[in-house]
Structure 1
Amino acid sequence: MFDSVIEFTADLITALAQPLGSTAAAIVIFTIGVRLLLLPLSVMQARGARTQARLAPRVGELRKRHGRDPERLRSELVSLYTREGASPLGGILPGLAQVPFFMVAYRVFVSSTIAGHANALLTHGLFGVPLGQQFASTVAGFGLLSGPTLVFACLFLLLLAVALVTSRRIRQTMGDEVQPQVLRGVMPLLPFTTILAAAVLPLAAGIYLLVTTAWTAGERAVLYRPALAGR
């Protein structure tokens, strides 16, 4: 079943590439389309996260008051979330529901074979670089100062720009409840892992990473902006 979904996705991107004249452009359009389909889940996740932030002080008070009585604490937390019409998993479950979509996209843009056949998507190129090519093999084949290597360099710079924006926003919105201190130091660094991933994954996966992380940055800027905090 999972392989059939992957094969269908690859065929869909191939069909998009024909009128667009570019498989790379088809990957961009496909990624945007998937993120639009997942937008309701992202909205649910943002609402859940805002509810968690709003209830955090009251949850903290209950934990201090009933920390030595787990059963009473559980009962009080259930009552609190019931009164507020919320769920302690409201900010987590919508995000988990998105994971299968990202798994399919990952397989399509990384796997050299799909359903026992060569992944034709990865044989197409962007400015002369096959979408299945990796950065190391590009440098080895064309040299460090070459057009194909420049394609990867531009991709890394764009990913770096998105990571800088995302990291700065994480620092601005990270509350005091985020503990321990090590975690507070690590979280702003996580967006930069996309650059490391793009350095070892095929170019097709790097394009997908760029589009989806840029979308996420814009989405969070809208859904998590301070003006919505009280809604």
Structure 2
Amino acid sequence: MDTIASFFSFITTPVSWVIVQFHKVYGAIFGPDTGWAWGLSIVSLVVLIRICLIPLFVKQIKSTRNMQALQPKMKAIQERYKSDKQRQSEEMMKLYKETGTNPLSSCLPILAQSPFFFALYHVLSNIAEGDTVGVINQSLLDSARQAHIFGAPLAATFTDSAQEVAALDASLTSVRIVTAVMIILMSASQFFTQRQLMMKNVDLSVKTPYMQQQKMLMYIFPLIFAVMGINFPVGVLVYWLTTNVWTMGQQMYVINQNPTPGSKAQDAYLQRLLKNVGAHGEVRGRRRKNVVKAIVAKGSDRNENERRFFAGLAKAGFAAQPDGTVIKSDTVTAEAEGGAVRRQQPKRQTKAKRQAAAAQQSTAKSSEDVADSTDSGETTTSLEKKPQDAVQDEAKDAAQGDKPARPSRANSGASRQAKSGQRKGQQRPKHPSSKK
């Protein structure tokens, strides 16, 4: 630990100076020797550091989302060059460079906090040993040693012996109860932060090993902090618990206001936005307009949540515009929505149903053809006039009692036409030598 302390000694003096400045403010309110004055000084130090780290946090969010989006491509590269590790690394670096993704960006907030964490640990350790450090002189050192948080000194740890705790004017039971509660809260806040990230703010449509790694970290990190926490002084536990609570609140804000595309959080956000548009008839706020604008610009690449949002707008009679606003429209078409509404494809029928429908259609068509042919034949027979010579021959044969009168060729052709239904109109008589 001496090596680590010497490595971070360059920041020990600034950290101790910030704590002393906050202690002057809170000491004037609660008293200079109280645990509230020193405890709130540590909490204020955390808040100040985390405010300065907000740009890195934003960069971390972008990097994490880019890594999630690149997982399918990374997996394809690993499968393609699984026998050539060097080529695999080169293709990975090329992919990172093309997309502007830095894998280390997701660790920047933790790495940036590390110097402050170890500097505070070094300051509290010196206070426990009765040594001055940084700008903390002897009078401030005596004041810090007298400060207790719920009966536990700032410099006490869970593993301290009864003699060490007694030297700080406290009881071993109170120290272990306070430190145990803080360790549990610290681990629980870490677990909840990672869990809400995995359950609400992850694109569920992409199944990659990255998600499994994050799920493992959700259980491993709290255990690591719990094991390490028993060696942390109470003041460091206050620091780490405060930063975990800050991270949890910051993550909740990001999930509610800027969720990952394709996640459950995005679906909930778009549904809230849909209700807001329905209530006010417009998109209120520049950030919300930018969200709608970005979704419109995606076109056909929208995910299921975004398509559901545009379908809800269309149902309410609104059409999204490229500038992020909406207009009232009685007949909202797919073009007005920028292709948000997809045409529903008809359900595919089974082979048996298709054959039955075809047979039914063929039967109906045949019935119609027969009916048309019959009507045409009857009309031709009734309208056609027999030749005058043929009528006289038939009358003469009937009077003499000879063979039955043969139907005229015109009528024979019409009858055959009515029966067969093949041709309309009068047919040409067949040659006498042809067989019937």
What's the TM-score bracket when you normalise by the shorter of the two chains? 0.7 to 0.9
Provide the residue aligned with 1:77 in structure 2.
Answer: 92
Cα deviation per residue 1:123-144 (whole Å; 9 max; x = unaligned)?
Answer: 1332443211223448675253
Q: Is it true that 1:169 corresponds to 2:201 in the alignment?
A: no
Provide the residue aligned with 1:58 in structure 2.
Answer: 73
1:42 to 44, 54, 57: 57
In 2: Cα distance, 1:138 partner to 1:47 partner: 46
User: Any conservation in 2 of the 1:66–1:73 contact (CA below 8 Å)?
Assistant: yes
Provide the residue aligned with 2:157 in structure 1.
Answer: 134
Single out whichever of 65-74 and 109-118 deviates more from structure 2: 109-118
Using the aligned pairs only, state the percent identity. 24
Provide the residue aligned with 1:159 in structure 2.
Answer: 186
User: Secondary structure at the residue paired with 1:135?
Assistant: coil
Provide the residue aligned with 2:228 in structure 1.
Answer: 197
Single out whichever of 58-67 and 106-115 deviates more from structure 2: 106-115
Provide the residue aligned with 2:26 in structure 1.
Answer: 20
Post-superposition offset of 1:189: 3.3
Post-superposition offset of 1:89: 3.7
Post-superposition offset of 1:93: 5.0
User: Secondary structure at the residue paired with 1:49?
Assistant: helix
Q: Which runs of 5+ in 1 are unaligned?
A: none
Q: Which protein is bigger by CA-based radius of gyration?
A: 2
TM-score (norm 1): 0.76
Cα deviation per residue 1:62-100 (whole Å; 9 max; x = unaligned)?
Answer: 221233344543443344333323334443456534433
Q: Is it true that 1:86 corresponds to 2:101 in the alignment?
A: yes
User: Any conservation in 1 of the 2:188–2:222 contact (CA below 8 Å)?
Assistant: no
1:48 aligned partner, one-letter code: S
Question: How has the CA–CA distance of structure 1 residues 105 and 43 changed in structure 2, closer, same or farther, with 3 Å as cutoff?
Answer: farther
More contact order relative to length (CA 8 Å, sep ≥ 6): 1
TM-score (norm 2): 0.44
RMSD between superposed Cα atoms in Å: 3.6
Provide the residue aligned with 2:360 in structure 1.
Answer: none
Higher helix proportion: 1
In 2: Cα distance, 1:213 partner to 1:220 partner: 10
Q: Is it true that 1:188 corresponds to 2:188 in the alignment?
A: no
1:31 to 32, 46, 63: 46
2:14 aligned partner, one-letter code: F
1:3 to 9, 12, 27: 9
User: Any conservation in 2 of the 1:162–1:217 contact (CA below 8 Å)?
Assistant: yes
Q: Is it true that 1:109 corresponds to 2:110 in the alignment?
A: no
Cα deviation per residue 1:95-133 (whole Å; 9 max; x = unaligned)?
Answer: 534433333233233344425977827413324432112
Provide the residue aligned with 2:246 in structure 1.
Answer: 215
Post-superposition offset of 1:33: 0.7
In 1: Cα distance, 2:186 partner to 2:82 partner: 44
In 2: Cα distance, 1:95 partner to 1:159 partner: 15
User: Any conservation in 2 of the 1:50–1:229 contact (CA below 8 Å)?
Assistant: yes
In 1: Cα distance, 2:95 partner to 2:191 partner: 37
In 2: Cα distance, 1:111 partner to 1:14 partner: 15
In 1: Cα distance, 2:65 partner to 2:53 partner: 19
Q: Which runs of 5+ in 2 are unaligned?
A: 1-6, 28-36, 262-293, 295-436
In 2: Cα distance, 1:73 partner to 1:43 partner: 29
